[in-house]
Amino acid sequence: MTELDLITLWTKARWHIIVSQFAPTFLLTSLVALLSLGLDTAAVSVRIAAAGILLASGVLGALAQIAAANEGLAIIEDLRAVPVLSTLGKRIVASEAWIDIVRFGTPGVFVIVYIALLAALFLPFA
């Protein structure tokens, strides 16, 4: 593959990472808004459904993000094999260390926020 082919693949992988955040972010924000409107006092079945929808979206988003990050790492490995890289190619290779934030950090933040929302949904606070 040429450098241009690899950069094109990188752009697609990066776009997949960005798009994989839309649904979980929207649902997290929506759940916070619904909590302020009284979701925490809704029937238990409704709260369980809300938690399940959020969990399913978060898991699918995390899987898509991890897959796209792994593809990005493979593209970086292939870019390293290109004899002469453009400045853009070099910057993409230099971004390798940040891929772990996508693979582990963002899903970790989702888990922490999800646990906090579960507490808000199901634990009685005075």
Report the alpha-carbon distance of residue 39 to residue 42 in Å, rounded.
5
Most confident of 63-67, 85-89, 120-124: 85-89
Report the alpha-carbon distance of residue 114 to residue 7 in Å, rounded.
34
Tens digits of residue pLDDT in 33-69: 999 999 999 999 999 999 999 899 888 888 888 999 9
Report the alpha-carbon distance of residue 23 to residue 38 in Å, rounded.
22
- Tell which residue, 111, 109, 17, 113, has the closest CA to residue 63: 17
Domains of the chain: which residue ranges? 3-122
Helix (DSSP H) and strand (DSSP E) numbers for the chain: 6, 0
| Predicted model pTM | 0.80
Report the alpha-carbon distance of residue 36 to residue 29 in Å, rounded.
11
Instruction: Provide the 10 A C-beta neighbour count for residue 33.
Output: 10
